[in-house]
Each structure stands twice: as C-alpha cells, then as structure tokens.
C-alpha cells in the first residue's frame, strides 16, 4: 500500500493518523496505543496483527483492508452514529484521551460488550433469529459485499451454518462463487474448510470443481492453519501443501536430553487425551504462540515509545469467559514454560496431530519429510515442567474446537526486526532517569535454590484465592527509598547483561543473570508474603517469574554452543525477560511511592 493512501487512514478507535496495526476479526485498523489495549482483550475479542512486521497471507490482508475501506467500523459503532448519542453523553475516544482509563473503557465497551452494535428486535425464540441471520449469510457470501457478511456475523449468524434446504454451508457457497475474501472472513469466524455437504463434498472440492484453483489451495492452507503456525514458530518453514506435504515435524537438536521419565509420561498423557481434549490443548498452544510472537513484534516496533514502559504488558493469555476456569488456568501456565519446554510441547503436539490424522501405522508417504534440527538449547527441566504442565484431563467441553482452531491468523516472522539491544538500553536509561539517585546497596548472598524459589513464591494467575487460603493478607508496604534502591540495583545489572549481549559475550549471560536474580530476591523480600494490593501481587508475579525465566535462558547459552540463529533466539528471550523485570520493578516503585505518600 502506498504511503499516500496510508496517510489517509485513521485509527478506528480514536482517529489517530496512520494506524500500524489491524484487528483481523473486526476488520479495522488501529494505532499503537489502541493496539496496546486490544492485546489485553485476548484473541477471542480481537486478533491483532502488524500491517508491515507480521507475515500476512495476501488475501487475508486484502480482506481486512477492504472491510476497513468500506466502513466496517460503523458496525461496531452503530449507535454512536445516531445524533442522539451525543445528547446521551456517548462518544468515541480521541487521540488526546489517556490510554487508561478513557481509551481502555471505550475499547472494552466496543469490542467486549458490543455496546454500540445494532441490536435486533427482541423475539421469543432467539434460535429462530440466529437461523434467519445464518440463512442471509448463506445467500450473501456469493457476492463481494464483505461488510454485509461481517454485520450478519456480528449479529449472531453462524459461519458453519448447515442450510437444511441447500445442504451445504456458507463456505461451500463462497468457494463455488470464487469469493476469496468472503472465504477469508468466514474462516476468521471459524468456518471449516473440511465441512461436508449433503453429498460428502468439502468447500475445497467446490472450489476445484468450479475452477478456482488459487482459492482451493488457500482453503487447504486454512485447514492446516494450526499445525502450520506451530511449525513455522519453531523452524521458519511451512509444509508444501500443493505437493501433498501437510506436516513438518521439527526436532530438537538435543532431543536425546528430553527422554526423562517425566517427558515420557507427559507424551503418553498427551496421546491418551480424547480428540476433543487434544484439540483444545492444541488451540491453547496456538494462542500462546500468537501471544509470544505478537509480543516480539510489539517490542520490535515500539522503539523508544513511552508505550514500552507506560502500558500494561500481556504476561499470559487473557481469560476467555467462554472457557472453564480450569482451562483458563492451564492456558495461563503456558507462559511460564521456558523456550525449550514450550518447544518440546509444540513438537509433541505436532507429532500427535500427525498421528491422529494418519494413524499409528498408515502415514502418508508424502508426510515422511526430513526432520529439521531446532536447537533451542538446554536440558529439559522436568521439575519445572511437572509444576507448570496444565492438567487438561478435566477441561470443560467447548464447542467446535476444530473449527475454531482454523480461525487464527498466520504466523509472524520473528526475524523481521526484533528489538535491538541498543534500543532496549535506551529505554532502560529513560526509565531510570526519573528515579532518585540513591547509592546502591549490594548484599552478598547465595543464589543457590533461588531460581526455584522465585518461580514458586507467587502465583502467576489472577486468581489469588489460594493465597488468601494460605494466610492473611498484609497491606504493609516497604519504604519507598528501599524499593528505589533495589530498582537501581536491578537496572544496573540488567544494563550489564545487555552490554554483554551487545558485545556478543554470551559467556557473561549466566553471571549477570545470577546478579539480577539476587537483586530481585532482595527486592521481593522487602514486600509482605501475602500483599493485599492486587497491583503489588501482579508486579511481584511478573518480577519473580521473569527473573526465573531469565536465569533459565542464560543457562542455555552457558551449557551449550548453539549456532548463530539459535543464540539469536536465546538473546531475544533474554531481552524479553529483562524488559519484564525492569517493567515490574518500575511498577513496584510507582505503587509504593503512591501508597506511602497517601
């Protein structure tokens, strides 16, 4: 898209010029500030992608741009266009509004509560209304009018509706008509490319029979979207579906180290899951991949923006209210997996997905592709994995897991401009410049056992009922000067670590991380074991768990001799962990100063 055209675009939520992000399922473009809020909503509310730093299927990007250009935003702001809305005090955000609470409250009302969407007249039987809407969708997808179909979907039309008279789904109709963009929209809303019509034919069959070969190939890609995304995350390659290759199974360069009894038990447990439970787990891992990659793109594109330090991080997957609490807790635990642990889980899922599709002994010959060495690089921490592995045996039953699994966006290429060490150091310098300069107090204490302690001291989920059960909450906060002192100490050690990264002195990673962990332990010890403030609890969670993750990542550089591409991955993880530590320390300084001054 030309710069001239791009300059006329404005953020759908606050009208700021030149938005750089898109919400795929909402069909709108958004600015950095509004995107920082969208990221916290979860993919079930908004699937965000960067317009230039994310890897897009061309037809999916075209679909979003077409929706945006044809006024899709009016679907989500319908009632705000009514002149009476100004009388009632309703208004959309503007660029000058504060991110919190102004823009946040507006965006949550707009996309989570759908407060401004046109409401259908109330009827006694809502299922009849949904059926009528779905029939309209079934008819509309044969045309190129995307915004009409998005409006129907926003009102409750079902993307997988099976028309009783026609004997097929909307995606069958779009495929037969060659409507590529309609197929993209339906897929985002969960339409299944493998759904059968009354004659046993799929939308892919419809497209091929109608001569729409490009659309047929794209539908095959959508069908394998979940496993393709996981594969690309690990090794930067996708299967060649055109030639019948539908799976690539990456392999850890040090896979022999993963054959612990726990690893074997975990794989056996994965294989014993029902198809429904396995699909839910695969979907949750897909969402975690998306979270990690979006975080990397976010850091890479913010540069020196105040958004890096002033907006809330997304430390784990946001709660999806349609899922059970057990499943939501399991999803959040995925963020605590180290890069190596998470890669192992992804590989196990890819292997079992292939097994479930082809069977134990009837693999398609074209699936026997060469294995790709992926050296993430450390011994499998079975104790950590055992604590963090979510229990998916009792997940709640959620509807249409396979169909929903295909609705995600394509993967982001992490090689496309990760945040540089220099940029990160400048951000840290800007962060500490505003803090009081207090002489740093260095205490010599042993790091032995701290990594495990850091991980277990604080719960990383927002549900703190367990903490409340274990002891009374304490509202006492430490002296502000003590907190600032420890923050300065942590920041100094982080800068030392990042200088080592900048100078490619990877042998210095581990000693630097030990200093950081020691400083984090001392800072956490200043606070009560059961803080009553939710903000303090959350900041301590982020501080201690990030320090533990940092120590694990730095151990990889010390224990192995990875290739340049692998050390780049480790370095990126180190930078992310260091950023999270600095962010949490800053939050603790802010809340302590505020409370002590009251």
| pLDDT tens readout for residues 439-492 | 232 232 233 333 333 333 333 333 433 334 445 677 788 888 888 888 888 888
Does 239 score more than 60 pLDDT?
A: yes
Each residue's pLDDT tens digit, 537-547:
888 888 888 88
| Domains of the chain with bracketed CATH | 21-112 (1.10.220.150), 127-243 (1.25.40.20), 261-355 (no CATH), 480-596 (1.20.120.330)
Rg (CA), the chain: 25
Q: Which residues are 531's β-sheet partners?
A: 474
Token pair 């982020």 in the structure block, residue: 542
Q: What is the pLDDT of residue 283?
A: 96
Does 310 score more than 50 pLDDT?
A: no
> pLDDT confidence of 275, banded at 50, 70, 90?
very high
- Average pLDDT over the chain reads 77
Selection from 516, 491, 580 nearest residue 309 by Cα: 580
Q: What is the pLDDT of residue 549?
A: 85
Distance of CA 324 to the CA centre of its chain: 19
Q: Which residues are 28's β-sheet partners?
A: 23
Q: What is the mean pLDDT of residues 282-308?
A: 83
Q: What is the C-alpha to C-alpha distance for residues 478 and 508, in angstroms, rounded to an integer?
A: 32
Q: Which residue has the higher pLDDT, 234 or 257?
A: 234
Q: What is the pLDDT of residue 30?
A: 98
Distance of CA 315 to the CA centre of its chain: 10
Q: What is the C-alpha to C-alpha distance for residues 226 and 349, in angstroms, rounded to an integer?
A: 11
In the Cβ-directed half-sphere of 115, how many Cα atoms lie within 13 Å?
13
Enter the tokens of residue 317: 């997957």
> pLDDT confidence of 387, banded at 50, 70, 90?
very low
Q: How far is CA 1 from CA 10, 12, 173, in A?
A: 15, 18, 30
Among residues of the chain, what percentage have pLDDT more than 90? Answer: 42
Token pair 């709660």 in the structure block, residue: 319
Q: Which residue has the higher pLDDT, 359 or 401?
A: 359
> pLDDT confidence of 313, banded at 50, 70, 90?
low
Which helix (H) or strand (E) covers residue 434, if one does?
none
Selection from 7, 184, 151 nearest residue 73 by Cα: 151
Q: What is the pLDDT of residue 361?
A: 38
Q: Which residue has the higher pLDDT, 494 or 459?
A: 494
Q: What is the pLDDT of residue 462?
A: 39
Instruction: Count how many residues are written for the chain.
Output: 598
Q: Write b or e for each residue in 167-206: b if 16 or more Cβ atoms lie within 10 A of its Cβ, otherwise e.
A: ebbbbbbbbbbbbbbbbbbbbbbbbbbebbbeeebbbbbb
Q: What is the C-alpha to C-alpha distance for residues 185 and 150, in angstroms, rounded to an integer?
A: 8
Q: What is the C-alpha to C-alpha distance for residues 571 and 140, in angstroms, rounded to an integer?
A: 49
Q: What is the pLDDT of residue 70?
A: 95
Q: What is the C-alpha to C-alpha distance for residues 285 and 346, in angstroms, rounded to an integer?
A: 7
Largest CA distance in the chain: 78
Each residue's pLDDT tens digit, 431-440:
444 333 322 3
Least confident among 127-136, 220-229, 410-419, 457-466: 410-419
Does 342 score more than 50 pLDDT?
A: yes
* Number of neighbours of residue 219 by Cβ within 10 angstroms: 28
The end-to-end CA distance of the chain, in Å, is 52
Least confident among 243-252, 343-352, 431-440, 484-493: 431-440
Cβ contacts of 313 within 8 Å, gap of 6 or more: 295, 542, 580, 583
Q: Which residue has the higher pLDDT, 551 or 261?
A: 551
Token pair 């707009």 in the structure block, residue: 110
5-10-16 Cα angle (round to 5):
135
Q: What is the pLDDT of residue 289?
A: 95
Written in H, E and C, the secondary structure of 297-352 is HHHHHHCCCCHHHHCCCCCCCCCCCCCCHHHHHHHHHHHHCCHHHHHHHHHHHHHH
DSSP code at position 108 = I
Q: What is the pLDDT of residue 376?
A: 32
Q: Which residue has the higher pLDDT, 18 or 575?
A: 18
Does 563 score more than 90 pLDDT?
A: no
Selection from 10, 24, 6 nearest residue 67 by Cα: 24
Does 258 score more than 60 pLDDT?
A: no
In this structure, the strands spanning 21-23 and 48-50 are antiparallel
Helices (H), 78-224: 84-88, 104-107, 126-140, 146-155, 170-177, 180-188, 203-209, 213-223
Burial of 239 (0-12, 13-18, 19+ CB in 10 A): buried
> pLDDT confidence of 565, banded at 50, 70, 90?
low
Q: Which residue has the higher pLDDT, 302 or 349?
A: 349
Does 426 score more than 70 pLDDT?
A: no
Cβ pair 592, 585 in contact under 8 A: no
Which range of 205-219, 347-361, 482-496, 569-583 scores highest in mean pLDDT? It is 205-219
Q: What is the C-alpha to C-alpha distance for residues 28 and 324, in angstroms, rounded to an integer?
A: 30
Q: Taking the model in full, what pTM does it have?
A: 0.63
Enter the tokens of residue 124: 């006694």
Does 11 score more than 70 pLDDT?
A: yes
Q: What is the pLDDT of residue 112?
A: 93
Q: What is the C-alpha to C-alpha distance for residues 508 and 497, in angstroms, rounded to an integer?
A: 7
Among residues of the chain, what percentage have pLDDT more than 70? Answer: 72
In this structure, the strands spanning 28-30 and 48-50 are unpaired
Each residue's pLDDT tens digit, 161-214:
999 999 999 999 999 999 999 999 999 999 999 999 999 999 999 999 999 999
Q: How far is CA 201 from CA 141, 184, 222, 396, in A?
A: 18, 19, 17, 31
Phi and psi (nearest 5°) for 531? Answer: -60, 140
Q: How far is CA 546 from CA 11, 466, 551, in A?
A: 33, 21, 9
* Number of neighbours of residue 380 by Cβ within 10 angstroms: 21
Q: What is the mean pLDDT of residues 260-274?
A: 79
Helix (H) and strand (E) counts in the chain:
27, 5
Each residue's pLDDT tens digit, 27-51:
999 999 999 999 999 999 999 999 9
Each residue's pLDDT tens digit, 132-152:
999 999 999 999 999 999 999
Q: What is the C-alpha to C-alpha distance for residues 23 and 107, in angstroms, rounded to an integer?
A: 12
Q: What is the pLDDT of residue 173?
A: 98
> pLDDT confidence of 323, banded at 50, 70, 90?
very high
Q: What is the pLDDT of residue 300?
A: 80
């Amino acid at each position: 898209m030309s710069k001239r055209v791009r300059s006329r675009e404005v953020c759908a939520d606050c009208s700021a010029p030149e938005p750089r992000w898109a919400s795929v399922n909402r069909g709108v473009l958004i600015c950095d500030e509004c995107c920082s809020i969208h990221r916290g909503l979860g993919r079930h509310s908004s699937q965000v992608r960067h317009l230039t730093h994310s890897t897009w299927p061309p037809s999916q990007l075209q679909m979003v741009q077409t929706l945006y250009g044809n006024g899709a935003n009016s679907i989500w702001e319908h009632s705000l266009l009514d002149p009476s809305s100004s009388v009632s005090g309703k208004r959309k955000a503007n660029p000058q509004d504060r991110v919190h609470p102004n823009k946040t409250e507006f965006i949550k009302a707009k996309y989570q509560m759908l407060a401004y969407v046109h409401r259908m007249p109330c009827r006694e039987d809502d299922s009849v209304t949904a059926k009528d809407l779905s029939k309209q969708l079934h008819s509309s997808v044969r045309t190129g009018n995307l915004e009409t179909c998005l409006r129907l979907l926003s009102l409750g039309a079902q993307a997988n509706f099976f028309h009783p008279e026609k004997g097929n789904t909307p995606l069958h109709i779009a495929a037969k008509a060659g409507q590529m963009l309609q197929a993209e929209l339906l897929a985002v809303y969960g339409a299944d490319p493998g759904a059968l019509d009354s004659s046993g034919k799929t939308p892919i069959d419809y497209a091929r029979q109608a001569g729409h070969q490009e659309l047929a190939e794209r539908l095959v890609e959508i069908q394998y979207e979940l496993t393709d995304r996981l594969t690309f995350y690990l090794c930067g390659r996708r299967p060649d579906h055109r030639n019948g290759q539908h799976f690539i199974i990456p392999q850890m360069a040090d896979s022999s180290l993963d054959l612990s009894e726990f690893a074997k038990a975990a794989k056996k447990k994965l294989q014993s899951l029902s198809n429904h439970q396995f699909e839910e787990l695969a979907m949750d891992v897909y969402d975690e991949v998306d979270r990690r990659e979006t975080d990397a793109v976010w850091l890479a594109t913010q540069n020196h923006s105040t958004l890096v330090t002033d907006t809330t991080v997304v430390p784990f997957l946001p709660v999806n209210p349609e899922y059970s609490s057990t499943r939501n807790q399991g999803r959040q635990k995925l963020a605590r997996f180290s890069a190596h642990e998470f890669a192992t889980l992804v590989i196990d899922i890819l292997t079992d997905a292939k097994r479930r599709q082809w069977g134990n002994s009837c693999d398609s010959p074209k699936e026997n592709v060469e294995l790709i060495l992926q050296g993430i690089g450390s011994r499998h921490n079975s104790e950590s994995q055992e604590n963090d592995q979510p229990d998916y045996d009792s997940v709640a039953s959620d509807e249409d897991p396979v169909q929903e699994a295909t609705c995600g966006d394509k993967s982001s290429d992490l090689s496309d401009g990760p945040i540089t060490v220099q940029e990160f150091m400048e951000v840290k310098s800007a962060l500490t410049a505003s803090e009081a300069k207090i002489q740093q107090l260095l205490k010599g204490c042993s790091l032995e056992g701290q990594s495990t302690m850091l991980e277990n001291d604080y719960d990383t989920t927002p549900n703190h009922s367990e903490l409340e059960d274990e002891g009374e909450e304490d509202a006492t906060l430490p002296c502000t000067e003590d907190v600032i002192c420890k923050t300065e100490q942590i920041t100094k050690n982080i800068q030392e670590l990042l200088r080592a990264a900048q100078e490619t002195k990877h042998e210095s990673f581990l000693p630097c991380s030990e200093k950081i962990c020691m400083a984090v332990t001392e800072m956490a010890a200043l606070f009560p074991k059961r803080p009553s403030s939710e903000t303090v609890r959350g900041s301590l969670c982020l501080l201690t768990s990030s320090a533990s993750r940092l120590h694990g990542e730095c151990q990889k550089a010390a224990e192995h001799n990875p290739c340049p591409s692998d050390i780049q991955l480790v370095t990126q993880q180190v930078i992310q962990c260091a950023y999270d530590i600095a962010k949490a320390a800053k939050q603790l300084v802010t809340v302590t100063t505020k409370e002590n001054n009251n």
